[in-house]
Amino acid sequence: MNTATREDYYWLVSSDAAPLIKRCQEAILDKTNVVRIAKSLRKQTTPARSAIILELAQLRIKARKKFPFAEEMFLTRKGYEQATSALIAEYKAKRFVKFERIADICCGIGGDLMYLANRDADCETVGVDNDPLVCLYAQQNLVAAKVAGHAEIVESDFDDYNLSSFEAVHIDPDRRAHGRTVQSNFFSPSIAEILNRLSSGNLAIKMAPASPEPGNLPNSVEREWIGDRRECKQQVLWCGETVSRPGALTATCVNRDGSVEQISVGIDEIDQTIVVAEEIGQYIFEPHPSVLAAKLTDTIGNRCRLARLAPTVAYLTGNNRLSTSLLTRYKVIRVTTLNTRIVANELSRLDVGQIEVKNRGAEKLLTDQFARMKLDGNKRLTVLLTRHKQGGIAIIAQRQSSRTL
């Protein structure tokens, strides 16, 4: 980012920019054409500032899915994409309640920081980042979250900042510093650098969900994959007193109401025995992406007396009507061959007008073929394109999950 552009981003927090941002947000919410909005902004400020006002307004509206006070936040596109959502940040912050002084390193725009700062008014929280613009935005977002008096923002590099006085540290290394990678050696700072400095303390390291286990990881570290809705959003390495179960692999789903469901398995309890169903049961279960990322599909399946449809397919089946956000449940209505004409006829008989198409184990081209079906019924069902044992099948099913992810 060049100097002139950076100055424009600083200008966004000024009193001159505030009314323009507000009017832009209102226009977007009123579904005004974006080109018209941009033209109107250019009459009131420079083209560069018009562009970043429009970007901020769009990000604020998009961020309402992540934060309850999104329309007052200051965001960059990268900062928004990397920020921990309110649901997950609040869940993570609960592991830090026992600590009086916490540092949030590489705090970014403050996704985790806002909820670490909210744990107790008497506790001290410091957000640290080496980007002055990000620090400014993080400070503004503390105001939006109404916790400005509970946290301090410091501009510093990880290597230069003295952490000796802190009881616990949360760190979110920049995994885009060398491109979009999940390799821990290309984080900045790298996982090895973080562990070399802090592994003996109380520490949480936020990583990409697909990041492989770092080398020389202490046996006591807990690896947790955390998701909300229908996505796995992050992996966290918990060290020291932040660990809830030493050495465990944990898959967690945070529901919209803030409730949590998880499976936590010690290394000696992992069950990778693959059981393939002889017959398709009354229900199909799709493991939450956090379960898949933690490689706990067979563990949870065997614990719940479910079996895979095929050795390499992550759909489970059984007759037990399980209700958990770790498994999306589908009621089986019909099972047919992978033939669009046959499936279309079945859907017509079932008075189906809309379908959700999901594919695990079938050719990817089939997804588009099934999605283009012309249907004129009144019901909405799901079509699962998959395999049973060695053969391809289509399962017409009704999504029945008791929780909304």
3-state secondary structure 286-349: EECHHHHHCCCHHHHHHHCCCEEEECCEEEEEECCCCCECCEEEEEEEEEEECCHHHHHHHHHH
Asked if residue 110 belongs to a domain, the reply is yes
Classify residue 325: in a domain, yes or no. Answer: yes
pLDDT (0 to 100) of residue 404: 41
Domain count along the chain: 3
Cα separation, 28 vs 6, in Å, equals 25
Same domain? For 59 and 97 the reply is no
Tokens of 103: 């540092």
Q: Is residue 157 part of a domain?
A: yes
| Residue 97 and residue 9 share a domain | no
8 Å CB contact between 203 and 239:
yes
- Residue 402 is predicted with a pLDDT of 54
* Any domain includes 177: yes
CB neighbour list of residue 268: distance below 8 Å, 6 or more residues apart: none
Question: How many whole angstroms separate alpha carbon 72 and alpha carbon 22?
Answer: 9
The letter for the amino acid at 107 is C
Same structural domain, 107 and 60: no
Cβ-in-10-Å burial (0-12, 13-18, 19+) of 216 comes to exposed
Nearest of 366, 396, 403 to residue 382 by alpha carbon:
396
218 and 99 share one domain:
yes
Which residue, of 232, 266, 300, is where some domain finishes?
Answer: 266
Last residue of a domain, one of 35, 64, 93: 64
Distances (CA, A) of 347 to 334, 361, 385, 401: 9, 22, 14, 21
Best CA proximity match to 18, nearest among 62, 61, 67, 72: 72
Q: Does one domain contain both 124 and 258?
A: yes
For residue 107 the two structure tokens come to 């705090």
Is residue 224 one of the residues assigned to a domain? yes
Give the count of beta carbons closer than 10 Å to the beta carbon of residue 222. Answer: 20
Q: What is the pLDDT of residue 178?
A: 47
In a domain, 72, yes or no: no
17 and 139 fall within a common domain: no
Do residues 53 and 96 both lie within one domain? Answer: no
In whole angstroms, how far apart are CA 235 and each of 43, 88, 208, 338? 46, 11, 6, 36
- Domain range for 356 is 283-399
Domain boundary among 16, 37, 64: 64
107 and 247 inside one domain: yes
CATH label of the domain that carries residue 91: 3.40.50.150
CA distances 195 to 100, 125, 185, 216, 401, Å, are: 22, 21, 12, 9, 40
Which of 94, 171, 167 has the alpha carbon at shortest distance from 128?
A: 171
Q: Are the CB atoms for 137 and 76 separated by under 8 Å? A: yes
Of the candidates 389, 375, 392, which has an alpha carbon nearest to the alpha carbon of residue 337? 392
Question: How many CB atoms are located within 10 Å of the residue 401 CB?
Answer: 17
Q: Which two tokens stand for residue 298?
A: 């067979």
Residue ranges, the chain, pLDDT below 70: 1, 121, 175-186, 401-405
Same domain for 217 and 358, yes or no, is no
Assess whether 43 and 147 both reside in one domain: no
With beta carbons less than 8 A apart as the criterion, state whether 124 and 100 touch: yes
- The confidence score (pLDDT) of residue 156 equals 96
So what's the pLDDT on residue 405? 38
Q: Are residues 321 and 197 in the same domain?
A: no
pLDDT of residue 5: 83
How far apart CA 51 and CA 225 sit, in angstroms, is 36
Domain assignment present for residue 271? The answer is: no
| Residue partners of 191: CB distance under 8 A and separation at least 6 | 173, 184, 185, 205, 207, 214, 237
75 located within any domain: no
Tell me: do 333 and 222 sit in the same domain.
no
